[in-house]
Structure 1
């Protein structure tokens, strides 16, 4: 199996040598950077932020990855950023899964080499890991032949994600671990997302990195009431929980009303109904490292609390995102019959997602790091919108979520249900911990992405 993998890498290297003399289609030059994601560009927010930060500092940026979800408009409208899509491919769906995986890696190797060689000699290549197989070896080979600097941004470890499906002792997991540790050492610089990962990289992989915490972009902020109303009216056209008649009172004459806001057409004033439901938001990539049965079980308990207590509000739970397990959980949600809770799973445009977070009452995060060393960016975005969070516990979560300060940490569905009951008690009064957490987030000195990036990452590009 390893021999087949190396055969594919050697074949790709041969392609590199053949194409290195070819005239590139995308001209960049030495005062330029390539930002590479072996995945959907629109679902790679941190790498989008890297591309924007580089462009704002005068770099010409080639943003390389797969088409799919539309990136943020700031990316699409920036003249210094050129999106370069890796061609889509289909692997054989016959034979053992290991064979299918090897075939996929070989095809990705060839296609990524091909696309990287169409870009003329960039000064820097900034690569997201994971997925690192085969992208680390491919980008290293390109940088070696062209004299470019390779910077790896370690979001997690690919081999720990593989282990969620195959188990720790599977040969593919061993190969992936060996591969990441070996080729990761060939990079010129390394960035990582937590201090815990920085320490692990140095101790176990002999790789030195700098920590760049995920920070919210400037467009993650509290949403003004008028903008909330516009968003809710837009969503009410397609999603029942946002309609006024789904939970709130029927529309009044002369009013434009959603379940959460209403606007008097004559005066233009936007207000919130006093008996509005609470809005809970969670975002996910619907993968194995997020167990959404924990949230669903907690909602079942909350339903029983609401039935017994008049001081608890009805609840709208919005779960956003795309991913392989969405269909499974959508079918499960369809079998649940609530009287006081409504769940919807929309996909929001990049411009609408910050508006939703800035309008919500509470965020829930079920991300459990496969390595225990990364942090959920969704919580960073929620904090940027001053949205308190309930997050499931894992090893280094304390680097982001401060229990009883900006949110709560739970270990199981019963604990989460108890937290929902406590936070939403006598909602929406100004007293209680929910509003205390929000006030703490408002007064906290939160660095934004651009400030943090300029202090931490820009020197890597300036001093080389």
Structure 2
């Protein structure tokens, strides 16, 4: 039945599109692109980077997606980029769950088709983020056929594997989504993907040829100077208690955060002796990130401090939005930690890289539903020369080099041991964290713009 419903949806899309065929009398503008995100534009950094890179190369860009988090200021101020918002479709709280999903897909298809045909100018390319691919791949393909555009799919992961985390991979809806994604994915003119492992899987199992475009940090992900760190800590301290100074300075003219102190006479900022270590974990609060692993590791770290181990206190900042945030926030509030403070802010787009550039260590819990994508949060951390502890999965070695730019762990016990080892020499200038930082600085990995110019731009000029 589900297959029949999907066939009817696709047929309706085609018939509805034919009624609007008269709008496609003129050819598309070749140096124009519509970047499609069926999600929150502000939480889609890779697609924002695509839009900025295209605009810098003279393309007129329409960025289509949901309203939500604030995009980067650079994108908002670029005259060649026009952001167009679609209404977000929420789950209908009636009827069986499968039927709810089908109705949601139909409504999404109508909204996307309307936006692409009636509100978006004719473009030479549609660059689509996948997942979600249902119904966006089919809708974008129909629009490309009608308007003579080329369809480019940027494969971040597989949509059906993400659905499988919720429904189980044997669920008929997940199997249908896999069939659809495999079939419709072949309709594209060009394909990008985020890892070599995904490129090989697309070629072997899907008969899709793709170009690997690794996520790279934007230029604004870098080390934060002490002066910028101090301003950020003072700003966050107005809202979040862990950033506030635990003691007042001897000189009342001095300005102090939990980590830094400003001498107003000289303008010099210094780090406080005995300051806490700053741990950052960016999460989407979803089922593919077992956040309890970090909480168990922190509880064990707390017990070591209580037992007299020479370890610093911790401020653990967990950024992000997602469906499980409230659940874990309740658990955190009941932990009763005395030497570890945890806060879960949602930061402005401009403050997030400053926080990474101010931190001592990053933790990544992203496992990947397919095992074939890489966490962009680690890419951003490495751009700030921030060492990372990351949970192991299939292709993580393409990004995190164990004992070189960070550490890889399997469970909460191993993560706790790594935290103990890294922070046991916290006050020493030659500690392991600083060795990792040095390795990251010396690696001189290319930034997004440089990588994009080499791998993506030629595809938009020779097709």
TM-score tier (shorter): over 0.9
Deviation of 1:6 (Å): 2.2
Q: What is aligned with 1:30? A: 30
How many angstroms apart in 1 are the aligned matches of 2:11 and 2:333?
A: 49
Residue in structure 1 matched with residue 325 of structure 2 by the alignment: 326
> Are positions 1:428 and 2:427 aligned together?
yes
Map residues 251-262 of structure 1 onto 2, 5 A cutoff.
251-252=249-250, 253-262=252-261
Which structure 2 residues correspond to residues 10-89 of structure 1 after superposition, within 5 A?
Answer: 10-22=11-23, 29-89=29-89
Provide the rounded CA distance (Å) in 2 between the counterparts of 1:65 and 1:269.
44
Q: Shift in Å at residue 267 of structure 1?
A: 2.0
Which residue does 1:298 correspond to in 2?
297
| Structure 1: segments with no counterpart, 5+ residues | none
Q: Residue by residue, what CA displacement relative to the aligned partner does 1:417-455 show, whole Å, maximum 9, x if unpaired?
A: 000000001313212211110110011121100010010
1:23: Cα distance to partner? 8.9
Q: Does 1:111 align with 2:111?
A: yes
- Conserved? CA contact 1:313–1:426, under 8 Å: no
Separation of aligned partners in 1, 2:409 and 2:309: 25
Q: Distance in 2 between matches of 1:215 and 1:416?
A: 26
* CA deviation map 1:55-80 (0-9, x unaligned): 00000000000101111111100000
Contact persistence 2:24–2:147 (CA under 8 A): no
* Superposition pairs of residues 127-276 of structure 1, within 5 angstroms: 127-245=128-246, 249-252=247-250, 253-276=252-275
Q: Is the deviation greater in 167-176 or in 304-313?
A: 304-313
So what's the TM-score if we normalise by structure 2?
0.97
Cα distance in 1, alignment partners of residues 399 and 181 from structure 2: 26
Within-5 A mapping of 1:441-452: 441-452=440-451
- Report the equivalent of 2:458: 459
Is the CA contact 2:41–2:65 (under 8 Å) kept in the aligned structure 1? yes
Q: How far does residue 22 in structure 1 lie from its aligned partner after superposition?
A: 4.5
Matched residue of 2:29: which SS? Answer: coil
What is the CA–CA distance in structure 1 between the aligned matches of 2:89 and 2:387, rounded to whole Å? 41
CA distance in 2, matches of 1:92, 1:208: 37
Residues 87-126 of structure 1 mapped to structure 2, 5 A cutoff = 87-117=87-117, 118-126=119-127
Query: What's the Cα RMSD here?
Result: 1.4
Separation of aligned partners in 2, 1:445 and 1:278: 26
Partner of 2:310: 311
Tell me, in whole angstroms, the C-alpha distance in 2 between the residues paired with 1:301 and 1:365.
Answer: 18
C-alpha contact 2:360 2:387 (8 A) present in aligned 1: yes
